[in-house]
Amino acid sequence: MEILDKTNKFSGLKQSKTHFVGISMSSAVTNESGIAVLDKNLNILRIDKFFNLNDLQTYIKRLAPAESIIISVDLPKNIIMFNGKWRQEAKNVRSLFNMPERTKYSWTARFSDRGSDLCDSLSSLNIDVCRYYSSYTKNLLRLDPPFKSRSPAACKHLQMSIKNNLKISGFPSNLIALSGLEALIGAYVSWKIAGSEENIGYKVVGYHKNTPIISALENDEKILE
């Protein structure tokens, strides 16, 4: 099967990975993106923000040996799309209705290509890289806050949900920025890929520029040893 062939590189990573990285990619260079790093025990090692992708690549090179890193990079929404199919989805609001299904366009058309070159560059360094869609993963893991998006109340709820539901530890006493929280979700996706089996702990939901889009699944008992 095509999916299994493309994701074989993610099998057998449990013993080799020590740094599980998530990158929440902003839609524009003027907005901050976040990076979060977890260890095997789901302890937070680092949470930072960045604007320049070249700085981010240097940051990752200095983080750890390439073979011990696995990275999940968020898919930023395309804020300048001209196709009306996903125009509503590109806005930072939650739609109150489902977009009509059409076979003419791929659902990945709503995403920007920003970060694709970064993924290719990191892959050339023998770093395992995949993409994730933070909004979709938050929904699967039941992390969506019942508050207005990007509000302080929503960020606080999301931080507590990540801490309690995903069992991630090492949170600072202050509130983490949304870019950092969404990067933590990506780091958790990386952890699940390395520590569980496909369709049990994670699933492939699509592809963007030949890179698999992967989401973590809820209720998986498999953990890193």
Please tell me the predicted confidence (pLDDT) of residue 27: 77
182-210 mean pLDDT: 92
The sign of the torsion formed by the CA atoms of 102, 104, 107, 113 equals negative
Could you read off the pLDDT of 120-141 as tens digits, one per residue? 889 999 999 999 999 899 989 9
User: Tokens for 83?
Assistant: 């196709």
Whose structure tokens read 């498999």? 222
- 176 alpha carbon, distance to own chain's centre: 16
Please tell me the predicted confidence (pLDDT) of residue 202: 94
What the chain holds in terms of domains, given with CATH numbers, is 2-94+107-216 (3.30.420.40)
Mean pLDDT (the chain, rounded): 81
Whose structure tokens read 């050339």? 124
pLDDT tops 50 at residue 109: yes
User: Tokens for 67?
Assistant: 């073979």
**pLDDT class of 213 with cuts at 50, 70, 90:** very high
- Name the most confidently modeled range: 45-54, 76-85, 139-148, 179-188: 179-188
Q: Is 155 helix (H, G, I), strand (E, B) or coil?
A: helix
Number of other residues whose CB lies within 10 A of the CB of residue 180: 24
Number of other residues whose CB lies within 10 A of the CB of residue 52: 10
29 CB burial (10 A radius; 0-12, 13-18, 19+):
exposed
Please tell me the predicted confidence (pLDDT) of residue 225: 45
Distance CA 168, CA 76 (A): 24
pLDDT tops 50 at residue 4: no
Is the Cβ–Cβ distance between 175 and 159 less than 8 Å?
Answer: yes
Please tell me the predicted confidence (pLDDT) of residue 80: 64
User: Tokens for 60?
Assistant: 């990752």
pLDDT tops 90 at residue 84: no
pLDDT tops 80 at residue 200: yes
**pLDDT class of 37 with cuts at 50, 70, 90:** very high
For the entire predicted model, the pTM comes to: 0.81
Distance CA 199, CA 132 (A): 15
Please tell me the predicted confidence (pLDDT) of residue 24: 93
Please tell me the predicted confidence (pLDDT) of residue 190: 96
Could you read off the pLDDT of 9-27 as tens digits, one per residue? 565 555 689 999 999 988 7
Alpha helix locations (H) across 99-151?
116-124, 134-140
